[in-house]
Homo-oligomer: A and B are copies of this chain.
Amino acid sequence: MADLQSALSWYRRMVLVRRFEEETERAFRRGKIGGYLHVYSGQEAVAAGFISAMRGDDICFTSYRDHAIALLRGSPPGAVMAELYGKAAGLARGKGGSMHLFDVGRGFYGGYGIVGGHIPLALGAAYALRYQGSDRVCLCFLGDGAMNTGAFHESLNMAGLWGQTGHCPLVLIVENNGYAMGTSVARSSAVTDLASRFTAYAIPSERVDGMDFQTVRLAAERAVADARASGRPTAVEAVTYRFAGHGAADVVQPYRSKEEVEQARRRDPIRLLEGHLRAAGLLDDAAAEAIREEAEQAVLAAVRHSEDSPPPSPEALHADVYGKEA
């Protein structure tokens, strides 16, 4: 139960993430946030479980569905929201937006927009960590859809090879949320047991219930410890569900039924964890309400901060194309 005790703080952060995402959807509808917006609602236990298993100096990479990663890794909600608002105070100075959150100081090496395109980066980063003589590990979150890319395949085979000599402390987390945009796993992958696909690279893998924080967390701790100790890659398929549309524009969702979504929502990861905590006497109505209120305030403050802060200065346009002069 000591275990569950510490889960309380992750519960708190998951509530914040959910509330934050609701607010981003609202801000998007109000035209405050532009571009594409991919929220994380429904998948919170996956990122929370894995990030809870990271050490302070470990690092991670993910796709465009990245708000939760930044928040759970500790980036200030105000800076995350300001990025979505395209403000200079944003996590990437307003240059990246929703799909390209970055907080290198906290070991978050970015959100990327090309499906599968970040996987080789994570591979190389993992190698660099070992090459530098550290025991840091690299986590790479990726979607079920990303497994069908050439970038995935080439990286995984190389990870398998580099792991043979202990030079690849890489943890791959497949967030199987059932869909790549509107394409279900069964329609996009010849094999639907995604964890089994890693055998083609001799990479150990397991499939876990991605809705249950405690389950994810245990798997994450095993995977991270393995990678750290052995320098070998390891993979986890976390079976989860995307409550919202693919992005903010995906409203009609002709590819799935309302019933299916309803059904999935019954296993809401936040309510599941809440249930565990209540059952263990670690949470009651008042505490839950306080946590919700705390999230509410944090999100509203993030919005105010974002509304009030200035856009990037015109000089920012040409800054950061290149570094110091070659």
A188 CB to closest chain B CB, in angstroms?
7
Once the chains are docked, how many angstroms separate the CA of A88 from the CA of B201?
A: 46
Q: Give the contact-size bracket for chain A.
A: 20 to 34
Q: Which of A24-32, A38-46, A152-160, A263-271 lies at the interface with chain B?
A: A152-160
A96 CB to closest chain B CB, in angstroms?
26
**Interface check A257, CB cutoff 8 A:** no
Pick the most buried of A149, A158, A191, A203: most chain B CB atoms within 10 A of its CB: A191
Task: Name A190's contact: one of B152, B191, B196, B201 (CB within 8 Å).
Answer: B201
**Interface check A197, CB cutoff 8 A:** yes
- Residues of B close to A189: CB separation below 8 A: 157, 161
Known: A153-B152, A160-B191, A161-B188. A200 touches B203 (CB 8 A): no
Copies of this chain assembled into the complex = 2
Q: Are A191 and B187 in contact (CB under 8 A)?
A: no
- Residues of B close to A200: CB separation below 8 A: 190-191, 196-197, 199-200
Q: Are A187 and B199 in contact (CB under 8 A)?
A: no
A52 CB to closest chain B CB, in angstroms?
29
**Interface check A218, CB cutoff 8 A:** no
Once the chains are docked, how many angstroms separate the CA of A151 from the CA of B190?
A: 16
**Interface check A202, CB cutoff 8 A:** yes
Encoded as 1 (CB less than 8 Å from any B CB) or 0, chain A from 181 to 217 comes to 0000001111100001101111100000000000000
Additional pairs, 10, CB under 8 Å, beyond known A149-B153, A190-B200, A190-B203: A150-B151, A152-B153, A157-B190, A161-B187, A161-B190, A163-B190, A190-B202, A191-B199, A199-B199, A200-B200
| Pairs across A and B, CB under 8 Å, 13 listed | A148-B153, A149-B150, A149-B153, A150-B151, A160-B190, A190-B200, A190-B203, A191-B200, A191-B201, A196-B200, A197-B200, A199-B199, A200-B200
